[in-house]
Amino acid sequence: MKRNILAVMLSLILVLSVSTAWSEDKLTADQILKKVDEVENAPKDQTREIKMVLIDKGGKESLREMNMWQKGFDKRTAKFTAPADQKGIGFLSLPNDVMYLYLPAFKKTRRIAAHVKNGKFAGTDFTYEDMEAKKYSEKWNPELLKQEDSAYILQLMPKPETNTDYSKLVMWVNSNNFYIVKIEHYDHAGKLRKILTNEKIEQIKGYWIPTTSTMDDIQEGHKTKITLNNIKYDTGLSDEIFTERYLSR
Protein backbone atom coordinates (compact mmCIF):
# COMPACT_ATOMS: atom_id res chain seq x y z
CA MET A 1 0.00 0.00 0.00
CA LYS A 2 2.82 2.37 0.96
CA ARG A 3 4.64 1.48 -2.22
CA ASN A 4 1.52 2.37 -4.28
CA ILE A 5 1.14 5.72 -2.54
CA LEU A 6 4.83 6.46 -3.08
CA ALA A 7 4.55 5.57 -6.77
CA VAL A 8 1.53 7.88 -7.20
CA MET A 9 3.34 10.73 -5.45
CA LEU A 10 6.42 10.31 -7.65
CA SER A 11 4.23 10.29 -10.75
CA LEU A 12 2.52 13.52 -9.68
CA ILE A 13 5.87 15.19 -9.00
CA LEU A 14 7.09 14.15 -12.45
CA VAL A 15 3.96 15.49 -14.18
CA LEU A 16 4.17 18.80 -12.29
CA SER A 17 7.86 19.15 -13.13
CA VAL A 18 7.22 18.61 -16.84
CA SER A 19 4.26 21.03 -16.81
CA THR A 20 6.30 23.70 -15.03
CA ALA A 21 9.19 23.32 -17.47
CA TRP A 22 6.79 23.53 -20.43
CA SER A 23 5.21 26.70 -19.01
CA GLU A 24 8.61 28.31 -18.52
CA ASP A 25 9.63 27.47 -22.09
CA LYS A 26 6.40 28.77 -23.62
CA LEU A 27 6.96 32.19 -25.15
CA THR A 28 4.53 35.07 -24.86
CA ALA A 29 3.33 37.02 -27.90
CA ASP A 30 5.53 39.97 -26.89
CA GLN A 31 8.59 37.74 -26.61
CA ILE A 32 7.93 36.18 -30.02
CA LEU A 33 7.53 39.56 -31.73
CA LYS A 34 10.71 40.90 -30.12
CA LYS A 35 12.58 37.83 -31.40
CA VAL A 36 11.18 38.57 -34.88
CA ASP A 37 12.64 42.09 -34.68
CA GLU A 38 15.98 40.76 -33.45
CA VAL A 39 16.25 38.29 -36.34
CA GLU A 40 15.08 40.70 -39.04
CA ASN A 41 17.43 43.45 -37.86
CA ALA A 42 20.36 41.33 -36.71
CA PRO A 43 22.97 42.72 -39.17
CA LYS A 44 24.67 46.01 -38.33
CA ASP A 45 24.05 46.98 -41.94
CA GLN A 46 22.96 45.30 -45.17
CA THR A 47 23.03 45.88 -48.91
CA ARG A 48 21.00 44.09 -51.57
CA GLU A 49 20.05 44.26 -55.23
CA ILE A 50 16.34 43.79 -55.81
CA LYS A 51 14.45 42.60 -58.86
CA MET A 52 10.72 43.36 -58.78
CA VAL A 53 8.25 41.83 -61.23
CA LEU A 54 4.84 43.54 -61.27
CA ILE A 55 1.97 41.33 -62.47
CA ASP A 56 -1.47 42.75 -63.30
CA LYS A 57 -4.88 41.03 -63.45
CA GLY A 58 -4.30 39.87 -67.01
CA GLY A 59 -0.90 38.39 -66.20
CA LYS A 60 1.05 41.17 -67.92
CA GLU A 61 4.46 41.67 -66.33
CA SER A 62 6.67 44.73 -65.91
CA LEU A 63 10.13 44.87 -64.38
CA ARG A 64 11.72 47.13 -61.76
CA GLU A 65 15.28 46.93 -60.42
CA MET A 66 16.64 48.75 -57.41
CA ASN A 67 19.40 48.81 -54.82
CA MET A 68 18.65 48.97 -51.11
CA TRP A 69 20.81 49.82 -48.11
CA GLN A 70 19.87 49.49 -44.44
CA LYS A 71 21.66 50.40 -41.23
CA GLY A 72 20.41 49.06 -37.93
CA PHE A 73 16.63 48.79 -37.79
CA ASP A 74 15.59 52.37 -38.52
CA LYS A 75 17.56 53.65 -41.53
CA ARG A 76 16.86 52.53 -45.10
CA THR A 77 17.59 53.93 -48.56
CA ALA A 78 16.34 52.52 -51.86
CA LYS A 79 17.09 53.72 -55.40
CA PHE A 80 15.74 52.42 -58.70
CA THR A 81 18.26 51.48 -61.39
CA ALA A 82 15.80 50.26 -64.08
CA PRO A 83 13.74 50.72 -66.21
CA ALA A 84 14.78 54.05 -67.68
CA ASP A 85 11.57 55.86 -66.70
CA GLN A 86 12.01 54.77 -63.07
CA LYS A 87 15.79 55.11 -62.79
CA GLY A 88 16.89 57.45 -60.04
CA ILE A 89 13.67 57.42 -58.04
CA GLY A 90 14.75 57.18 -54.42
CA PHE A 91 13.20 56.46 -51.04
CA LEU A 92 14.64 57.25 -47.61
CA SER A 93 13.30 55.96 -44.29
CA LEU A 94 14.61 57.46 -41.04
CA PRO A 95 13.67 57.14 -37.35
CA ASN A 96 10.39 58.54 -36.00
CA ASP A 97 8.37 57.87 -39.18
CA VAL A 98 10.40 60.33 -41.25
CA MET A 99 10.39 59.38 -44.95
CA TYR A 100 11.49 61.11 -48.14
CA LEU A 101 10.92 60.50 -51.85
CA TYR A 102 13.20 61.77 -54.61
CA LEU A 103 11.79 62.23 -58.12
CA PRO A 104 14.54 62.82 -60.70
CA ALA A 105 12.09 64.17 -63.30
CA PHE A 106 11.48 67.16 -61.01
CA LYS A 107 14.90 67.08 -59.34
CA LYS A 108 13.12 67.40 -56.02
CA THR A 109 13.15 65.59 -52.71
CA ARG A 110 9.92 65.79 -50.76
CA ARG A 111 8.97 64.54 -47.34
CA ILE A 112 6.20 61.94 -47.36
CA ALA A 113 3.34 63.20 -45.22
CA ALA A 114 1.80 60.84 -42.69
CA HIS A 115 -1.57 60.81 -44.47
CA VAL A 116 -0.07 59.53 -47.75
CA LYS A 117 1.98 56.68 -46.30
CA ASN A 118 -0.56 54.33 -47.87
CA GLY A 119 0.41 55.48 -51.38
CA LYS A 120 1.96 52.89 -53.68
CA PHE A 121 5.72 53.02 -54.02
CA ALA A 122 6.56 53.55 -57.72
CA GLY A 123 3.57 51.52 -58.91
CA THR A 124 4.45 48.40 -56.89
CA ASP A 125 2.17 46.67 -54.38
CA PHE A 126 4.27 48.03 -51.52
CA THR A 127 3.18 51.24 -49.84
CA TYR A 128 5.59 53.72 -48.29
CA GLU A 129 4.59 52.27 -44.94
CA ASP A 130 5.55 48.79 -46.12
CA MET A 131 8.93 50.11 -47.26
CA GLU A 132 9.97 51.83 -44.04
CA ALA A 133 12.62 50.39 -41.72
CA LYS A 134 11.03 49.55 -38.37
CA LYS A 135 10.60 47.29 -35.39
CA TYR A 136 7.16 45.68 -35.25
CA SER A 137 7.27 45.51 -31.45
CA GLU A 138 7.49 49.32 -31.25
CA LYS A 139 4.38 49.89 -33.35
CA TRP A 140 2.10 46.91 -32.72
CA ASN A 141 0.55 45.03 -29.79
CA PRO A 142 0.72 41.28 -30.45
CA GLU A 143 -1.63 38.48 -29.46
CA LEU A 144 -0.75 34.82 -29.93
CA LEU A 145 -3.70 33.30 -31.80
CA LYS A 146 -2.31 29.79 -31.97
CA GLN A 147 0.81 27.70 -32.41
CA GLU A 148 1.13 25.23 -35.24
CA ASP A 149 3.83 22.58 -35.70
CA SER A 150 6.29 24.98 -37.29
CA ALA A 151 4.81 28.44 -36.79
CA TYR A 152 3.44 30.93 -34.30
CA ILE A 153 0.42 32.88 -35.55
CA LEU A 154 0.21 36.40 -34.13
CA GLN A 155 -2.43 39.06 -34.48
CA LEU A 156 -0.97 42.56 -34.35
CA MET A 157 -3.09 45.57 -33.43
CA PRO A 158 -1.66 49.08 -33.80
CA LYS A 159 -0.58 50.88 -30.67
CA PRO A 160 -2.51 54.12 -30.00
CA GLU A 161 0.37 56.28 -31.23
CA THR A 162 1.00 54.23 -34.39
CA ASN A 163 0.16 55.91 -37.69
CA THR A 164 -0.84 53.09 -40.03
CA ASP A 165 -3.20 52.35 -42.90
CA TYR A 166 -3.89 48.86 -41.57
CA SER A 167 -6.45 47.94 -38.93
CA LYS A 168 -4.50 44.80 -38.04
CA LEU A 169 -1.87 42.34 -39.24
CA VAL A 170 -1.90 38.56 -38.92
CA MET A 171 1.65 37.23 -38.94
CA TRP A 172 3.00 33.69 -39.35
CA VAL A 173 6.42 33.29 -37.66
CA ASN A 174 8.71 30.29 -38.14
CA SER A 175 9.04 28.74 -34.67
CA ASN A 176 12.59 27.55 -35.35
CA ASN A 177 14.30 30.70 -36.60
CA PHE A 178 11.65 33.38 -35.79
CA TYR A 179 11.61 34.74 -39.33
CA ILE A 180 8.34 35.99 -40.81
CA VAL A 181 6.75 33.48 -43.17
CA LYS A 182 3.62 35.42 -44.08
CA ILE A 183 1.72 38.60 -43.17
CA GLU A 184 -1.93 39.33 -43.89
CA HIS A 185 -2.74 43.06 -44.03
CA TYR A 186 -6.31 44.18 -43.22
CA ASP A 187 -7.87 47.52 -44.18
CA HIS A 188 -9.87 49.79 -41.86
CA ALA A 189 -13.08 47.99 -42.79
CA GLY A 190 -11.54 44.77 -41.48
CA LYS A 191 -11.25 43.21 -44.95
CA LEU A 192 -8.16 41.37 -46.14
CA ARG A 193 -6.22 43.77 -48.35
CA LYS A 194 -2.80 42.25 -49.06
CA ILE A 195 -0.69 39.19 -48.30
CA LEU A 196 3.10 39.22 -48.05
CA THR A 197 4.63 35.75 -48.45
CA ASN A 198 8.31 35.04 -47.89
CA GLU A 199 8.74 31.97 -50.07
CA LYS A 200 12.46 31.21 -49.87
CA ILE A 201 14.09 31.96 -46.53
CA GLU A 202 17.81 31.26 -46.47
CA GLN A 203 20.66 31.75 -44.03
CA ILE A 204 23.43 33.86 -45.55
CA LYS A 205 26.57 34.52 -43.50
CA GLY A 206 24.67 33.61 -40.35
CA TYR A 207 21.66 35.87 -41.01
CA TRP A 208 18.18 34.77 -42.12
CA ILE A 209 16.66 36.51 -45.13
CA PRO A 210 13.93 35.77 -47.72
CA THR A 211 15.57 35.74 -51.15
CA THR A 212 12.15 35.42 -52.83
CA SER A 213 8.93 37.15 -51.70
CA THR A 214 5.52 38.12 -53.07
CA MET A 215 3.19 40.96 -52.11
CA ASP A 216 -0.29 40.04 -53.35
CA ASP A 217 -2.90 42.81 -53.45
CA ILE A 218 -6.09 40.79 -52.98
CA GLN A 219 -8.44 43.71 -53.55
CA GLU A 220 -6.86 44.89 -56.80
CA GLY A 221 -5.82 41.53 -58.24
CA HIS A 222 -2.23 42.74 -58.66
CA LYS A 223 1.02 41.35 -57.25
CA THR A 224 4.71 42.16 -56.97
CA LYS A 225 7.31 39.38 -56.89
CA ILE A 226 10.71 40.17 -55.38
CA THR A 227 14.06 38.43 -55.80
CA LEU A 228 17.13 39.49 -53.81
CA ASN A 229 20.66 39.23 -55.19
CA ASN A 230 24.20 40.22 -54.21
CA ILE A 231 23.33 40.42 -50.51
CA LYS A 232 26.06 41.88 -48.29
CA TYR A 233 26.22 42.30 -44.52
CA ASP A 234 28.22 44.34 -42.03
CA THR A 235 30.30 46.27 -44.56
CA GLY A 236 30.39 49.45 -42.50
CA LEU A 237 27.93 51.56 -44.48
CA SER A 238 28.42 55.31 -44.12
CA ASP A 239 25.69 57.45 -42.55
CA GLU A 240 25.98 59.62 -45.68
CA ILE A 241 23.95 56.99 -47.57
CA PHE A 242 20.95 57.77 -45.38
CA THR A 243 20.65 61.47 -46.18
CA GLU A 244 18.54 63.59 -48.52
CA ARG A 245 21.71 64.63 -50.34
CA TYR A 246 22.62 61.05 -51.18
CA LEU A 247 19.06 60.39 -52.32
CA SER A 248 19.35 63.00 -55.08
CA ARG A 249 22.71 61.84 -56.45
- Write out pLDDT tens, residues 41-85: 999 999 999 999 999 999 999 999 999 999 999 999 999 999 999
| CATH at 151 | 2.50.20.10
Amino acid at 51: K
Q: Is residue 88 part of a domain?
A: yes
Structural domain span for residue 221: 28-247
Q: Is residue 14 part of a domain?
A: no
Q: Is residue 113 part of a domain?
A: yes
Residues with Cβ within 8 Å of 78's Cβ and at least 6 positions away in sequence, in order, are 50, 66, 67, 68, 69, 90, 91, 131
Q: Is residue 19 part of a domain?
A: no
Q: Is residue 141 part of a domain?
A: yes
Q: 108-117, 150-159, 172-181, 219-228: which has the minimum mean pLDDT?
A: 108-117
Q: Is residue 65 part of a domain?
A: yes
Q: Is residue 3 part of a domain?
A: no
Distance CA 62, CA 58 (A): 12
- Write out pLDDT tens, residues 116-159: 889 999 899 999 999 999 999 999 999 999 999 899 999 999 99
What's the domain count of the chain?
Answer: 1
Q: Is residue 4 part of a domain?
A: no
